[in-house]
Amino acid sequence: MEFKEIEAKTILSRCGIPGIDYVINPYIGCRFGCTYCYASFMGRFVGKTVNEWGQYVYAKINAPELLRKEIKKLANNGSGKEIFLSSVTDPYQALEVRYTLTRQCLEVLADLPYEGTVSILTKSPLVLRDMDILKKIKHVTVGMTVTSTDDGISRYFEKFAPKVTDRFNTLEELNKNGIRTYAFIGPLLPHFVVQTAELEKIFQRLSEVGTKYLFVEHLNLSTYIRSRLLLEMKGADKKIIETFYTSQKKQYRKELDEIIRKLIKKYDMQLLLDMVIFHKEFQRENES
């Protein structure tokens, strides 16, 4: 692993994700190194390849200082705006224990007269450490990424990320403390079409812990992601690999979309954006 301290030129960046205005990425790279992660493309900005994703993390040690300056430039104290932590890193990866950059950024947002929304997405129960600050922020929502209820399946694609069972427990604790939560179910693993009971387990568990809002995304098999997945699945059964390719076909996605909507209705949940996201179509739609 390569760790490095760097100083960023800016920390509050405009964001193209629908509904999000600005993003804060306190780190470059992510130790979790999930095989399917689209953010592996970030390596090209620091001289790394996509296959090195998870092997380097650079801490932006001046992030809180920059944020304090940049947040003051927002009109109307940021009212009506949304700030997201984070889009191309996990804000609560292990290095956060040492550097507390995410915590310090949240402290800035809590201390200043920021009137907008703060949205967090992580795979780590470390977010519970910051419960005291989360309760001070006027409008905050915390999301956890979940791809299964089985730690074994999750560990296969998310080797260095916290166990998925810990993520469900984290959502439950956040809900008990009155923090608004959501789940990001993505990517949808290809076997869910033929094993709908496995997909339903996710919805059932989310319902049990009290999380009702969902983002759901199909598997993104862009060339650079596919190369990492196939490298990871070297030696896997050919039928499994074929299923991954099938997941990109429109008919497959249509079947899975129908399953998702039935489960949302059954468990009385809300699908945010009112769609199951497919990266290629979603990107085109938001560029037009």
- CATH number of the domain enclosing 15: 3.80.30.30
The per-residue pLDDT of the chain, averaged, comes to 88
Confidence of residue 161 (pLDDT cuts 50, 70, 90): very high
Distance, in Å, from the CA atom of 141 to the CA atom of 34, rounded to the nearest integer, reads 23
Q: What is this structure's pTM?
A: 0.90
* Average pLDDT over every residue of 97-122: 97
pLDDT of residue 191: 64
Residue ranges making up the domain that contains 279:
2-287
Q: Above pLDDT 90, what percent of the chain?
A: 63
pLDDT tens digits, residue range 199-226? Answer: 999 999 999 999 999 999 987 777 667 6
Is the pLDDT assigned to residue 244 strictly greater than 50?
Answer: yes
Q: H helices within the chain, ranges in order?
A: 63-71, 95-99, 101-111, 131-134, 151-157, 164-176, 196-209, 223-232, 238-246, 250-266, 279-287
Q: Which pLDDT value is given to residue 152?
A: 82
Q: Is the pLDDT of residue 31 over 70?
A: yes
What band does 286 get if pLDDT is binned at 50, 70 and 90?
very low
Domain count, the chain: 1
Residue 136, pLDDT > 90, answer yes
pLDDT digits (tens, 9 = 90+) for 76-91: 999 999 999 999 999 9
Q: Are 161 and 168 in contact (CB under 8 A)?
A: no
Alpha-carbon gap, residue 255 to 257, rounded angstroms: 5
Q: What is the pLDDT of residue 183?
A: 98
Residue 118 has pLDDT above 80, yes or no: yes
